[in-house]
Amino acid sequence: MTADPKLSLRGIRKSFGDTTVLDGIDLDVAEGDVITLIGASGSGKSTLLRCINLLEPVAEGQVILDGVDIAEPGLDPDPIRRRIGMVFQSFNLFPHMSVIDNVAVGPHKVLGAPKSRARADGLAMLTRLGLADRADAYPDQLSGGQQQRVAIARSLAMNPEVMLLDEITSALDPELVGEVLDVVRGLKEDGMTMLFATHEMTFAREISDRVCFLHQGRILEEGPPAQIFESPNEPRTQAFLQRVIDAGRM
Amino acid sequence: MTEQHAGHQPTRREVYDRARRRRSITIATISTVVVIGALLVLIPLTPGWEKVQQAFFDGDVFVDTLPILVEAFWVDVKILVWSTPPILIVALLVALARNTRSPALFPLRAFAVVYTDVLRGIPVILLVYLIGFGVPALGLSRTWANPLIWGSVTLVLSYSAYVAEVIRAGIDSVHESQRAGARSLGMTNHQTMQTVILPQAFRRIVPPMMNSFVSLQKDVALVSLIGPVEILRQAGIEKAKYANFTPYVAASLIFLAMTIPCTRLADWALARQRAKTGATAIS
């Protein structure tokens, strides 16, 4: 790696009360990298993503975006969040807005784009994700897969430099997972830098540049997907993957 | 039997449902007829009915007093119309003040708590007396000693405290994930509140707000205690003039003519909203 990483995590720690959720996370993400975070529920994947987006303050450590520590206490988080997109497990679409308004509200309100422009760009984004015909529908009128694609479109409309995907297929019926993962494949082709917490092991293996196995708030093992999935060094990684295989998920 | 193949053969479930539906409609109809019939037969049999009928349901008095009562009712409507916007504004400000987090704004938060606690804790009727007689006694000029002003101020103080709590509950009812979604787009706290939280909160609190609004429509009559001749006071005057309670019945009907359409309108608006955003057109 010659260029400086796009995003670096240095010694991230975080606890809720007495429970330590993140126990010293170090990670370098180069521009265009797709990093998947795997691990059991409660291993800290979601919290780590929320910390990167500053939705949760870190207790200790640095989140370095383009050489600047954005976790520095006292820094205004709002301008930084604009540069980092986040997609949530439960979509978090705004139910009182139509699909196009969900996508246009960020550029219009936050980036100050004129409404007509924001809507035109939003429509282009929806077209790209195959949702143009649903632009005037409301989120509750869509299938889960469509809702999640709208959520991705909403995030992409802000032109983020990094995308954080937090178990974005976990709330979907199995037959709807594919359409969302197709969008993620498209993003990789476009060179988007992504951190992706997921339980979809087959997909993680296909799309990742590197896979991190999280266990009790630490990255126990990190490497290219072939290594992690075929010959993991850590017994706990092996045990986790075995459980996934036993559950028929890989 | 063989010929019915082409037509729609009702399933056993449909036959059963239809029979059930017919049965419930029959029961509802019979019980309604019995109850209303009993009331119509039994009430006139009570020993005092004759007198009550004369004192409360005198057709001539009703016809004579209705126009003047409707006119007096305009005072109530005016008080209602000019009190409602300040109630909503003050209530929203108090609710937002209670939702602030910054330590520098502690006095504001504390004020909002005291405001809602005190003004909700005092009966409206007492507040009307205290403010309606107390404030003008400070020696205000004639224009400012108008009981209409202080009556309205009382309603604004009392009702904004109630409505503030309703709004606060509405804000709290919007799930935290909505805030996360908005903040992840880089929205500021203020933008999040304005574009994501409040619009959803307001939709949810329409029914309780309408409840407060109907309550307010009735409590406007309390302003009569400090002077203005609105419908309640006018009904009292007419009652004394005719020595008959029918004006009170007329006044009640006039109130109902306003409150019932208001509630129905709110129900309709809410149902329409739900139909628009709800799961109706899955494709």
> In this predicted model, what pLDDT tens digit does every residue of B156-212 receive, in sequence order?
999 999 999 999 999 999 999 999 999 999 999 899 999 999 999 988 888 888 888
**Mutate: best of A47, A90, A109, A148, partner B, most B CBs <10 A:** A109
Comparing alpha-carbon positions, the chain A residue that sits nearest to B199 is A96
- Give me the percent of chain A exceeding a pLDDT of 90: 78
Average the pLDDT over A81-100 and give the result.
Answer: 94
Contact yes or no for B180 and A137 at CB 8 A: no
Comparing alpha-carbon positions, the chain A residue that sits nearest to B175 is A92
Q: From the CA of A229, how many Å to the nearest CA of chain B?
A: 32
Residue A51 main-chain phi, psi, to 5 deg: -70, -40
Average the pLDDT over A143-159 and give the result.
Answer: 94
Bridge partners for A92 per DSSP = none
Chain A residue set in contact with B, beta carbons under 8 Å: 50, 53, 55, 78-86, 88, 90, 92-96, 105-106, 109-110, 134, 137-138, 140-143, 151, 154-155, 158
The predicted structure's pLDDT at residue A50? 94
Q: Rounded CA gap, B108 and B116, in Å?
A: 12
Q: From the CA of B105, how many Å to the nearest CA of chain A?
A: 18
Measured CA to CA in angstroms, residue B204 lies from B98, B144, B171, B172, B249 at distances of 19, 38, 9, 11, 35
- Contact predicate B169/B211, CB 8 Å: no
Q: Which residue has the tokens 């208001």?
A: B262
Comparing alpha-carbon positions, the chain A residue that sits nearest to B189 is A78
pTM for this one?
0.81
**Domain ranges across chain B:** 7-40, 58-276
Q: Which residue has the tokens 């053969």?
A: B9
Comparing alpha-carbon positions, the chain A residue that sits nearest to B178 is A92
Chain B residue set in contact with A, beta carbons under 8 Å: 177-178, 180-188, 191, 195-196, 199-200, 203, 276-283
- Contact predicate B28/B214, CB 8 Å: no
**Comparing C-alpha atoms, which of B246, B280, B271, B261 is closest to residue B69?**
B246
Residues in chain A closer than 8 A to B274 (CB atoms): none
B282, with CB counted inside 10 A (0-12, 13-18, 19+), is exposed
The predicted structure's pLDDT at residue A94? 95
- Give me the percent of chain A exceeding a pLDDT of 70: 98
Residues in chain A closer than 8 A to B187 (CB atoms): 78, 106, 109-110
Q: Rounded CA gap, A197 and A32, in Å?
A: 16
Supply A175's token pair: 């037959």
Per CATH, which fold does B58-276 belong to? MetI-like fold (1.10.3720)
Comparing alpha-carbon positions, the chain B residue that sits nearest to A110 is B187
Contact yes or no for B182 and A142 at CB 8 A: no
Average the pLDDT over A72-100 and give the result.
Answer: 93
The predicted structure's pLDDT at residue B278? 63
Average the pLDDT over A175-191 and give the result.
Answer: 91
Measured CA to CA in angstroms, residue A238 lies from A41, A196, A246 at distances of 16, 20, 12
ipTM value: 0.90
A90, A106, A109 member nearest B177 (Cβ)? A90
Regions of chain B short of the pLDDT cut 70:
1-7, 278-283
- Kind and range of the H or E run holding A101: helix A99-105
**Comparing C-alpha atoms, which of A62, A25, A32, A72 is closest to residue A47?**
A25
The predicted structure's pLDDT at residue B10? 86
Q: Does the CA dihedral B187-B193-B197-B198 come out positive or negative?
A: negative
> What band does A210 get if pLDDT is binned at 50, 70 and 90?
very high
The predicted structure's pLDDT at residue A4? 83
The predicted structure's pLDDT at residue B280? 44
Supply A236's token pair: 């706990």
Residue A175: partners with Cβ closer than 8 Å, 6 or more residues away: none
SS3 B160: helix
Q: From the CA of A156, how many Å to the nearest CA of chain B?
A: 10
Supply B143's token pair: 């224009």
